Amino acid sequence: MAEETKKTTPEAACAAEEVVVSDVPEAEKPVEKGAPPEPEKVEKAAQEVVEGEKEKEKGKDGGSEEKKIAESASFKEESNKVDDLIDPEKKALDEFKQLIREALKKREFTAPPPPPPAKEEEKKEEVPKAEEKKEEEAKPEEVPNVEEKKEEEPKTEEKSEPCEAPAEVPPLKPVKEEVVEKKDEEKATPPLAAEPSETVVEKVEEKVEAVEEIKETIVHEVTAPVPPPCEEPAAAPAEEEKPKEEETAPQPPPEEISIWGVPLFADEKTDVILLKFLRARDFKVKEAFAMLKSVVAWRKQFKIDELLEEEGIGEGLEKVVYMHGVDKEGHPVCYNAFGEFQDKELYSNTFADAEKRAKFLRWYIQFLEKNIRKLDFSPDGTCTIVQITDLKNSPGLILFKKELRQATNQALQLLQDNYPEFVARQVFINVPWWYVAYNRMISPFLTQRTKSKFVFAGPTKTTETLFKYIAPEQVPVQYGGLSKDGDQEFTTSDCATEEIIKPTCKHTVEFPITEPGTLVWEVRVIGWDISYGAEFVPSAEGGYTWIVQKSRKIGPTDEQIISCSFKVGEAGKVVLIFDNQTSKKKKLLYRSKIKPSE
């Protein structure tokens, strides 16, 4: 949404433009970040533009500006109905949905908890490895030499008594047999110098008895350090049950997220939301998915839901940015009048320091969120707005204020990244001379889609341009329309009629009256500078004409709208008379209604 203004405004116009919701591709960012054009070049380009426009205006009555407006009006908003999409777009939408569904199942939109430090994991891995090494080292030590066992015979017999694990003895038989074989060999090989005698036989018998005792000692000593057999079978089933529990544990339900008050995959509104991201990234699915994840993360970080409940963060800014009426296609219209910041007190209260600028940013996001949630995101509904940026009294390119630039740059960056495709049209009114020149210089850097949404109008063409897109009864009175604040006789639902008063001619408007009642009407001529009067002409023959309003000359700075009422007791008509003695045509607006007599 904030992607179309960043490159088309000069730094001075950023005040009126960068806090505007618009669409600009990310590739255009370098233009905004770069240094502004040199004043000499801008002035030179501006002079060329002004001279060229003056030549074109001779004999054409501003035809060049009208041509610009006609070219800008060529943009047509795309349909949000899936059936109206072309095949590649439908395929991209389906792929986008699949990616989001998989991400929701994996809960990728929720930030995972931070992983434990790597050092702790390494320590845990080292501990079991060290234990294994100790066990391996302990195994060979469990088979002692025969000479050592002789000294430890009494101790080993006491340790062997509590052991009741005959099941562990069989694996150790090979150790016992090897020892026995060695002892048998020792028995079988008599000393070289020994001679057969009775004493030798006795000694051999004693050795045999000692070997038998050693065999018993070896068996007991090997089985002693083995853990009780009753604990091992109890531990094994517990380990086997854990994976079973993990396999049967129910998986958490898919994550649910909402954007701009619309829950994804709840109904057909999801397609409208997702198409905004796809169009903002030229239907590149992966880029659109990355943008969506970024938007969801930002909304959680910025605490949008809590921000909507905050109060009193935008005092005094009601005249700077406000919503007023709709255009001819039903889009809500947002007006940005940054010339209000000429008020030094308001400027200081809004941008004096970083804390106040942050507060302004939060207010603007809150304002935008509240109005976006009023949109209808159904395929047939309205899900975009029209932006009107008033550059009247905006600071010039050189005199642009630093604090305002910082605040508006921050706002534009957030809008560009987090509010895609929310502007149906961007209209700049009361455009000064330097803005036209600057726009000509940066125009080559803008995409055709971006430029097709832009409309520019100078001070003399502002009202005419607004009426191309917005009905007069919907346009605020300060911009040439009929809409006024407060309780009025007429509302925006009462349609106005537009007519042209030719140069050096009189023009009349008649309101017929068929029954007694009170006729109420209001009229406005854009730029006035003509004479106006009203009279009542009865239908009966021989009736007298009543002067309702005496004819008088009304200048451009006089009343903007003239309202009047006339109580009628008979049939007839009220005639309004406009006398245009100038050489220019004038646009006339009027509406009326009859209130029955009580």
pLDDT in tens, 563-574: 999 999 899 999
Q: Which of 148-152, 317-321, 529-533, 546-550 has the lowest mean pLDDT?
A: 148-152
Based on the domain organization, do 506 and 578 belong to the same domain? yes
* SS3 state at 82: helix
Task: Taking residues 268-287, report their average pLDDT.
Answer: 95
Based on the domain organization, do 504 and 553 belong to the same domain? yes
The CA–CA distances, whole Å, from 427 to 157, 169, 276, 316, 386 equal: 103, 95, 21, 24, 8
Please say if the pLDDT value at position 546 is more than 70: yes
* SS3 state at 524: strand
CATH of the domain at 587: 2.60.120.680
pLDDT band at residue 251 under the 50/70/90 scheme: low
Based on the domain organization, do 575 and 451 belong to the same domain? no
Based on the domain organization, do 419 and 554 belong to the same domain? no
pLDDT per position as a tens digit, 474-497: 999 999 999 988 767 899 899 999
Instruction: Supply the pLDDT for residue 446.
Output: 65
Structural domain ending residue among the three candidates 267, 302, 337: 302
What one-character-per-residue DSSP string does 209-225 give?
HHHHHHHHHHHHHHHTT
Amino acid code (one letter) for 133: K
- Say how far apart CA 286 and CA 278 lie, in whole Å: 9
**Domains identified in the chain, total number:** 3
Quick check: is 22 in a domain?
no
Quick check: is 577 in a domain?
yes
Structural domain ending residue among the three candidates 302, 317, 334: 302
- Say how far apart CA 522 and CA 534 lie, in whole Å: 12
CATH of the domain at 92: 1.10.8
Q: pTM of the prediction?
A: 0.67
Other Cβ atoms less than 10 A from the Cβ of 383: the count is 23
The mean pLDDT value of the chain amounts to 74
Quick check: is 65 in a domain?
no
Structural domain ending residue among the three candidates 411, 435, 470: 470
- Say how far apart CA 389 and CA 336 lie, in whole Å: 5
- List residues bridging with 501 in a β-sheet: 586
Residue with tokens 């380990």: 239
Based on the domain organization, do 290 and 327 belong to the same domain? no
Token pair of 505 as six digits: 């001619």
pLDDT band at residue 38 under the 50/70/90 scheme: very low
Based on the domain organization, do 358 and 315 belong to the same domain? yes
Based on the domain organization, do 327 and 446 belong to the same domain? yes
Quick check: is 208 in a domain?
no
Instruction: Find the helix packing angle between 39-57 and 433-442, rounded to 10°.
Output: 110
Token pair of 542 as six digits: 């021989």
Other Cβ atoms less than 10 A from the Cβ of 413: the count is 15
- Say how far apart CA 513 and CA 596 lie, in whole Å: 11
Based on the domain organization, do 298 and 334 belong to the same domain? no
Quick check: is 98 in a domain?
yes
- Please indicate whether residue 177 or residue 554 has the higher confidence score (pLDDT): 554
Quick check: is 144 in a domain?
no
Based on the domain organization, do 409 and 427 belong to the same domain? yes
Based on the domain organization, do 341 and 355 belong to the same domain? yes
pLDDT per position as a tens digit, 382-412: 999 999 999 898 765 445 678 887 887 788 7
Based on the domain organization, do 273 and 320 belong to the same domain? no
pLDDT per position as a tens digit, 152-196: 444 444 444 444 444 444 444 444 444 434 444 444 444 444 444
Based on the domain organization, do 407 and 553 belong to the same domain? no
CATH of the domain at 354: 3.40.525.10
The contacts of residue 467 (CB under 8 Å, 6+ apart) are: 475, 480, 498, 587
Quick check: is 533 in a domain?
yes
- Domain residue limits at 295: 77-107+254-302
Quick check: is 377 in a domain?
yes
CA angle 165, 171, 176 (to 5 degrees): 100
